[in-house]
Amino acid sequence: MIHSIRGLKYLVIACLSLVLAVPCMAAVDINKADAVTLAKELKGVGAAKAKAIVDYRTKNGAFKSADELLKVSGIGEKLLLQNRSNIVLSTTEVAKK
């Protein structure tokens, strides 16, 4: 009986840790994602900053590195650092909308 209670205790702890776990952010391709996706997937990026990213990309072409986001109005070092691990860059056709 003691082993069953101990096992149950560990099972409850494991289940709680899954329920309380912080959801992982999905990787986002800044060369293909639309403004809605950018705002949803990038921490600290709302509709205005997401639109600025898409506008910059449309005017200047595909981003060659994540650091190029610093050229977008409203994007700073802190915001880039918060999102760097979730940013991917495609080198194929770039979405403009």
pLDDT at 22: 46
32-87: pLDDT as tens digits: 999 999 999 999 999 999 999 999 999 999 999 999 999 999 999 999 999 999 99
Q: Which amino acid is at 32?
A: K
Asked if residue 33 lies in contact with residue 95, where contact means CB atoms within 8 angstroms, the answer is yes
Confidence of residue 21 (pLDDT cuts 50, 70, 90): very low
How would you class 69 by CB atoms within 10 Å of its CB: exposed for 0-12, middle for 13-18, buried for 19 or more? buried
Say which residues have a Cβ less than 8 Å from residue 93's Cβ, sequence separation at least 6: none
Q: What is the mean pLDDT of residues 1-19?
A: 58
**Which homologous superfamily does the CATH classification assign to the domain defined by 28-88?**
Tex RuvX-like domain-like (1.10.150.310)
pLDDT at 91: 73
**Residue ranges per structural domain of the chain:** 28-88
Helix (H) or strand (E) holding 28: strand 28-29
Q: Which two tokens stand for residue 44?
A: 């600290």
Query: Rounded distance, CA 47 to CA 52, Å?
Result: 9
